[in-house]
Structure 1
Amino acid sequence: MLDPREGAVYVQLSHMYAAAGMWDNVAKVRKVMEDRGVKKEQGCTWIRIDGKVHTFVTEDRSHPQVREIYTELARLMREIKREGHVPLTENVLHDVGEQQKEEAISYHSEKLAIAYGIMSTPPTTPIHIYKNLRVCADCHSASKFISKVAGREIIARDASRFHHFKNGVCSCGDYW
């Protein structure tokens, strides 16, 4: 039985409407959530560096090294685009243009954590990140490319499974 207080139920329904382009129904579902006080769990990613846990959320600007992290992430994004990465925006379920969709996925928590890991560890150190929700398709694709251009292994534990990115390939065989 579905729990009417569980945010994931509403989010899933909203995503189905958005995928079908039924924006009025998306708005209705969000309004019902608001009226009932139902909250969606916020995605976050954490990484342990030198014994300290650093937690990131989408578009996070709270970290003391935020400027350096965003600079490193921008550098990584330029490099992976040169290698052929095309941002996967089909799962951005907002009624906005393609440029806004690309911007919406640019600063996901896992990308911020990976960028921080790369800039904070020696060049041969594997990056270990943990995410409370399932990794999105774009972050999965970007992580494969980052592992290749940065020459790093990235081990990511999301809500479904482990992903071991190495040399542009993921251990899940792109089934996540």
Structure 2
Amino acid sequence: MAAMAAGTVQLNIFAWNQKLKTYVKDRQPEKVMQLFQQMQQEGMSPDKFAFIQVMKACDGLGALENARLVHEQLIQSGCKYDVFVGSSLVDITAEIVRALA
């Protein structure tokens, strides 16, 4: 964590991702979404690891519209797709297909 002025602390991306991952593991997708929003409001740009956790949370919530918005943000962010990002996108796509069936 990086110290700022007069006792305030700014979390780095690793710390944010760990918090997101903990909420996903604890099956608290609402907390993941709140934290993701807070992270961005505090000026931290999500990386591919943050996006993976948020997509998992969207899947857990059945929040298909949120997943679509997060996917758009992922594309706009310029994050490179890798096997883990792709896997989270496949998971949420499967959820969309199940919802439409």
TM over 0.5: no
Structure ranking higher on relative contact order (CA contacts 8 Å, 6+ apart): 2
Query: Larger helix proportion, structure 1 or 2?
Result: 2
TM-score (structure 1 length as normaliser): 0.25
TM-score (structure 2 length as normaliser): 0.42
